[in-house]
Amino acid sequence: MAVNLAAPDAADLLAIPGVQLGVAMAGIKKPGRKDLLVMRLVPGTTLAGVFTRNRFCAAPVILCRKNIDNAIQALVVNTGNANAGTGEDGVKRAGAVCEALASHIGCDADEVLPFSTGVIMEPLPAERIIAALPKALLARSNWLSAAEAIMTTDTVPKAFSKKVRLSGGAVGVTGIAKGAGMIRPDMATMLGFIATDARVSRAKLQAMLERIAERSFNCISVDGDTSTNDSLILAATGAGAAPSTRRDALKLEAAITDVARHLAQAIVRDGEGATKFVTVRVERGRSRDECRRVAYAIAHSPLVKTAFFASDPNLGRILAAIGNTGVDIGKLRLYLDEYPVATGGGRLGSYKEEQGAAAMKKPEFTVRAVLNRGAAEATVWTCDFSYDYVRINAEYRT
């Protein structure tokens, strides 16, 4: 069960002029489920993307990196099969899907970007995807249906919208994402697609997306494992107003960041087997990188995360994780929610274990580490490790 996360209401998700969505059932892994999404983009749409840094990357990531600077006309997304660890054959199969979609919509194959998610090292059933493309193209689907079509072990579809008023008029921002496992901050950590009808140049859009990713999807961790297929795409169709002033540009970026952060946190709330949503905030470090390193050490530690699950305020595990980063903890002050629990590497004299247990029993709480070494800070979001995390991943291929 996701932590304080409900399925979005389709009525709350803004249609984006210049984006056409089509969902179909291709029977890629399981019959009778949505597993194919086609997203058509109006000519003139600009596109930005960030992808996994895992050197063991999937075939669709290879093609996306190669072709993203082209005049992209469509995206095709399948779930149930990652097309990763499939070598040159995987690239050919992904290319065949792009060629088939391109022939339907009248563009070149290198103007279609493919995305896949699911089981690794299995051949992509390209023939099933190709056979289902006409159904997807005939469909007139909404963003909620699109979010459902890209789910794997997710228990809740993830989608969010925001409207922002620019000098030349209001524009919308809508995004969907999938992800529940193999999640760590190493851009990206899932599949994510965000669209706006604002008019933004390719160079500005790419720079904007990289900043947004650092403040959202690169601040989450479920299990510390980076996926082979991680991709985040931002599309600006240009059907609406352009940011004409610096204030406009900042407002648009803030709105897209809000959508991205909402989706990123939804991934953590829906982490495989998660029962707790935990904010890890590190303050007064020497640099932002130092603060992030400390925060990730806490967020990635299996010993810490299992203690979160048990509502066990095992301070030694948290302090050990921090100390393992090489940061001097002599001036450290540690908090669980509002309770000060440790200082200088030892338990605070006034701290009572019941206080820490009370904080950790809540479905959402904060671990705050004040390093007292400088003025920098960083925040990441993570979840606990439960019995279900092991079960889900033990049974993933069965």
Return the half-sphere exposure (C-beta side, CA atoms, 13 A cut-off) of residue 368.
Answer: 16
Residue 350, judged by CB atoms within 10 A of its CB (0-12, 13-18, 19+), counts as exposed
Q: Tens digits of per-residue pLDDT, 10-47?
A: 999 999 999 999 999 999 998 899 999 999 999 999 99
Q: What is the pLDDT of residue 153?
A: 84
Show the domains of the chain with their CATH numbers: 10-269 (3.60.70.12), 277-394 (3.10.20.340)
- 198 pLDDT above the threshold of 60: yes
Q: What is the pLDDT of residue 47?
A: 98
Q: What is the pLDDT of residue 188?
A: 45
- 319 pLDDT above the threshold of 90: yes
Distances (CA, A) of 128 to 28, 94, 134: 7, 12, 11
Catalytic residues: 189
- Please provide the size of the chain in residues: 398
CA atoms of 224 and 292, how far apart (whole Å): 14
Place of tokens 């309770």: 339
Q: What is the pLDDT of residue 228?
A: 80
- 189 pLDDT above the threshold of 60: no
Q: What is the pLDDT of residue 397?
A: 66
Q: Tens digits of per-residue pLDDT, 44-90?
A: 999 999 998 887 889 999 999 999 999 999 999 999 999 999 999 99
CA atoms of 312 and 314, how far apart (whole Å): 6
CA atoms of 192 and 214, how far apart (whole Å): 14
Q: Tens digits of per-residue pLDDT, 104-116?
A: 999 999 999 999 9
Query: Please, what is the average pLDDT of the chain?
Result: 93
- 316 pLDDT above the threshold of 70: yes
Q: What is the pLDDT of residue 183?
A: 54
Q: What is the pLDDT of residue 292?
A: 94
- 187 pLDDT above the threshold of 60: no
Q: What is the pLDDT of residue 345?
A: 83
**Helix, strand, or coil here: 75?**
strand
CA atoms of 33 and 154, how far apart (whole Å): 14
Mean pLDDT over 223-236 rounds to 84
Mean pLDDT over 131-141 rounds to 98
Distances (CA, A) of 274 to 227, 308, 381, 389: 19, 10, 12, 7
Mean pLDDT over 121-140 rounds to 97
On whether the CB atoms of residues 143 and 161 are closer than 8 A, the answer is: yes
Q: Tens digits of per-residue pLDDT, 343-355?
A: 988 899 899 999 9
